[in-house]
Structure 1
Amino acid sequence: MTTAHDTATAAASGASATERFKSDKLTGVEGTPPERVSLLAREVLDAVHATIRKHKVTYDEYNALKAWLISVGEDGEWPLFLDVWVEHVVEEVATEHREGNKGTIEGPYYVPDAPEQGSSGSVPMRDDEPGTPLTWTGRVTSTSGSALAGAKVELWHADADGYYSQFAPNIPEWNLRGTFTTAADGNFEIRTVRPAPYQIPTDGACGKLIAAAGWHAWRPAHLHVKVSAPGHELLTAQLYFPGDEHNDDDIASAVKPELMLAPKPVTGGEAIEYGFVLDPA
């Protein structure tokens, strides 16, 4: 199998993530009052100023920060940086009112309009796709308990080398990405392969920060999902596997107990059951 292992770079992945962000995400804040912009910008700057004063930051350290910020932009890694180290708090605040399923961060590698596979089907994958076959069954309901027919379950995840289609070379466009629509009883069945843990890109600016700080770059194995239905709030989540050594120290701080799966061995692979309860909009 041809993989992206030797050819993917942080800069190329970052550029793809940046372009995707520009095309998909720059909506929803038109008309924000200047007072709100001023409040948020001022408090962020105040926090930076307080850190400088508290720790007596030197000009050499300031210039190192300046150079690093420039390199984040040059590498196109602002989506990666913000999604790894900031988004989990934004998600926490944005969804704290929910009574249904817990969610978590989207991350930088979502692509809309993945191929439709019906209520039961397989995600597109290569004939020799590595990984343990995984069959996932579940049901989508409202907080009232009623089944949500026609709900959309979008799934995407990394391959066995830790790379996402459309963000690394030599991978088919929609590999390990699919859209499923629930049946009349709210049920769905998805066939894919179990993903592997992976490191976020380390050859760019984010990798330099990780090395300088003595951090690790690992994310535990996970499945990304977006679950939506008319009249209900969109749920974005990642689902995790027990026993992963980085469940407790995920670099993106995105793991929650409610998002842990319970795979069971079956003939030819593994099976999981996990459903979703959506809050009304």
Structure 2
Amino acid sequence: MTTASPTAAGSGASATQAFRATRHDTAAVTAERISDVVSAVLAGVHNAIREKKLTYPEFQAAKQWLIEVGEGGEWPLFLDVFVEHEVEHVAAETQSGTKGSILGPYYLPDQVRLPSVATLPMRSDEKGTPLVLSGQVRDTEGKPLAGAELDLWQADGDGYYSGFAPHLPDGNLRGVIVTDDEGRFTVTTIRPAPYQIPTDGPTGKLIEAAGWHPWRPAHLHLLVRAPGHRKITTQLYFQGGDWLDSDVAQATKPELVLNPQPGDDGTLHAEYDFVLERDAA
């Protein structure tokens, strides 16, 4: 049992702070593009109102919920869980290499750099089955990418992320692994647990009211990058894992599912290679 549980407000505040502190790829947007996209979004809302015959009490409830999401700092959580997977899907239409997935709200930059063979920082009594993930980073022509970085983070054996749960030490189960001269890496960690997104705030209230479940399947988060190549944002899942086919964030893909095999000592071993495409000239 954990000694403390993260609240939606606490996780939301941490996610908002992390988002603001991290550089994000942005582009100048023309007035025409803003008008086009916003008009399409509003048209979708208007169509839903007409099709579902929304009542004034329902409209007022929605307005109150939107206010509560903002006051609770839950916009990163809500957008990452319910919207980001479609943005990623559109981006993938023009990309090659390893399949991507959502970033999610729990990324924290500037973690400890580790060699190609490394163990993620963890507590001495870290709960969970040991897991060794190994592989190689290559370009789309098969050339190994020496010095590529795998920025890896994950939940612990209880489903909590460091930086978003008060009982976890900073940097727990987070690190940046740098590949060797052949683009290879081997990282030792633990198999993460599935987790439910915080449900004590307005996002959780929406999930409960709609009769949905709040669970994400167990997964490893990765940002894989190398100079001159497109950064990949992805997640690796586990074959047979709970919620794999009903992820609340709709972010799973069959190409991203690991099938770890146990060694003689019970440690799980999995291999996964990453392929990065070159940046557009």
TM-score range, shorter chain: over 0.9
Match of 1:186 in 2: 183
Match of 2:41 in 1: 44
Instruction: Report the secondary structure of 1:258's partner residue.
Output: helix
Q: CA deviation at 1:74?
A: 1.2
Q: CA deviation at 1:17?
A: 0.3
Which 4+ stretches in 1 moved above 6 angstroms? none
Matched residues in 1 for 2:16 and 2:147: separation?
32
Deviations 1:101-124 (A, max 9, x none): 101000001111110111111010
Deviations 1:207-253 (A, max 9, x none): 00000000000100000000000111000101000111311110000
Matched residues in 1 for 2:94 and 2:131: separation?
32
1:236 aligns with 2:233: yes
Q: CA deviation at 1:142?
A: 0.2
Matched residues in 2 for 1:27 and 1:63: separation?
35
Match of 1:10 in 2: 8
**CA 1:198–1:7 in structure 2 vs 1: closer, same or farther (change >3 Å)?**
closer
Instruction: Report the secondary structure of 2:47's partner residue.
Output: helix
1:175 to 172, 175, 187: 172
Matched residues in 2 for 1:122 and 1:273: separation?
16
Q: CA deviation at 1:97?
A: 2.0
Q: For 2:277, give the aligned amino acid.
A: D
Instruction: Report the secondary structure of 1:43's partner residue.
Output: helix
Structure 1, 95-104 or 165-174: larger mean CA deviation: 95-104
Q: TM-score, normalised by structure 1?
A: 0.96
Matched residues in 2 for 1:67 and 1:77: separation?
14
Q: CA deviation at 1:25?
A: 4.7
1:23 to 21, 37, 44: 21
Q: CA deviation at 1:153?
A: 0.5
Matched residues in 2 for 1:23 and 1:39: separation?
29
Within a 5 Å distance, the mapping from 1:88-107 to structure 2 comes to 88-107=85-104
Matched residues in 1 for 2:177 and 2:226: separation?
12
1:75 aligns with 2:50: no
CA RMSD of aligned residues (A): 1.2
Query: Structure 2: any 5+ residue segments left out of the alignment?
Result: none
Q: CA deviation at 1:98?
A: 2.3
1:265 aligns with 2:262: yes
**CA 1:260–1:226 in structure 2 vs 1: closer, same or farther (change >3 Å)?**
same
Q: CA deviation at 1:28?
A: 1.4
Matched residues in 2 for 1:37 and 1:264: separation?
49
Match of 1:150 in 2: 147
Equivalent residues of 2:218, 2:242 under 8 A apart = no
Instruction: Report the secondary structure of 1:246's partner residue.
Output: coil
Matched residues in 2 for 1:279 and 1:174: separation?
29
Within a 5 Å distance, the mapping from 1:84-163 to structure 2 comes to 84-163=81-160
**CA 1:123–1:251 in structure 2 vs 1: closer, same or farther (change >3 Å)?**
same
Matched residues in 1 for 2:84 and 2:74: separation?
14
Equivalent residues of 2:157, 2:190 under 8 A apart = no
Instruction: Report the secondary structure of 2:143's partner residue.
Output: coil
Deviations 1:159-190 (A, max 9, x none): 11211111110211000001100000110000
Match of 2:30 in 1: 33
Equivalent residues of 1:133, 1:192 under 8 A apart = yes
Matched residues in 1 for 2:29 and 2:228: separation?
25
Structure 1, 218-227 or 89-98: larger mean CA deviation: 89-98
Q: CA deviation at 1:55?
A: 1.3
Equivalent residues of 1:238, 1:259 under 8 A apart = yes
Match of 2:212 in 1: 215
Q: CA deviation at 1:262?
A: 1.2
Matched residues in 2 for 1:47 and 1:25: separation?
31
Instruction: Report the secondary structure of 1:109's partner residue.
Output: coil
Q: CA deviation at 1:56?
A: 1.1
Query: Structure 1: any 5+ residue segments left out of the alignment?
Result: none
